[in-house]
């Protein structure tokens, strides 16, 4: 597991060097075997690593890793951009299983984050957040964003969105039975996950109608 973690850390954090290594390896192999189609494999694997290298790393670490915590110690904005947003370089310290710490690094484009989704969400500097790693190679981490304080707040905010939509409809037409049912259902779904006295009171008021 440690060896595989090292490979995934290298391929996800050093994409250009990985491409060179792949073409050197498959180029030498194709020269020895006279099978030049192996260069096509090198090209396909290189493209696949660029697109999904960090996602594969995130899945691997979340599946087989040990949970701990980390803290970002440095956040530097670079001149490079991704989707018109500045790419950041980060440094962090990771708590090992023996309680000591080790340093690591990643960037906006190389960070392994779980759950895997079409968004790059990285915890704030100086705030402790949960991670997973393979023991004896703690520098390769996956950030468990949804389990962090920021992630929990974001999830709670997202869960409230249907409630707010239903509330606006209901307040525009309080006698509309469809709007009442939708508002009641949205409140109930939210309260199934979060304890909120204000929303509980609103639900009781709706149930009396």
pLDDT at 173 over 80: yes
Specify the pTM.
0.80
pLDDT at 209 over 70: no
Mean pLDDT across 157-174: 92
Helix (H) or strand (E) holding 197: helix 197-207
Closest CA to 57 of 122, 107, 120, 10: 10
CA-based torsion, 138, 142, 143, 145: positive or negative: negative
pLDDT digits (tens, 9 = 90+) for 51-61: 788 899 999 99
Mean pLDDT score across all residues of the chain = 89
pLDDT band of 97, cuts 50, 70, 90: very high
Cβ atoms of 122 and 72 closer than 8 Å: yes
Buried b (16+ CB within 10 A) or exposed e, 3-39: eebeebbbbbbebeebbeebbeebeeebeeeeeeebb
* CA distances for 95 relative to 66, 118, 154, 190, 196, angstroms: 11, 28, 25, 35, 34
Distance between CA atoms of 142 and 129, rounded to whole angstroms? 11
Spell out the residues 6+ positions from residue 208 whose beta carbon is closer than 8 angstroms to its own.
none
Q: Which two tokens stand for residue 154?
A: 């974001």
């Amino acid at each position: 597991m440690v060896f595989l973690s090292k490979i995934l850390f290298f391929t996800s954090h050093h994409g250009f060097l990985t491409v060179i290594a792949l073409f050197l390896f498959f180029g030498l192999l194709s020269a020895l075997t006279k099978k030049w189609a192996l260069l096509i494999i090198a090209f396909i694997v290189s493209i696949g690593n660029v697109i999904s290298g960090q996602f594969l790393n995130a899945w691997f670490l979340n599946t087989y890793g040990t949970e701990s915590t980390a803290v970002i110690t440095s956040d530097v904005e670079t001149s490079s951009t991704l989707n018109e947003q500045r790419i950041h370089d980060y440094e962090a310290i990771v708590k090992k299983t023996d309680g000591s710490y080790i340093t690591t690094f990643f960037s906006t484009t190389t960070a392994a984050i779980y759950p895997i989704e079409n968004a790059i969400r990285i915890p704030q500097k100086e705030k402790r957040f949960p991670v997973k790693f393979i023991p004896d190679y703690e520098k390769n981490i996956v950030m468990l964003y949804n389990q962090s304080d920021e992630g929990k707040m974001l999830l709670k905010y997202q869960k409230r969105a249907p409630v707010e939509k239903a509330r606006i409809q209901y307040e525009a037409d309080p006698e509309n039975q469809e709007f009442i049912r939708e508002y009641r259902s949205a409140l109930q779904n939210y309260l199934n996950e979060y304890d909120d006295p204000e929303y509980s009171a609103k639900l009781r008021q709706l149930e009396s109608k």
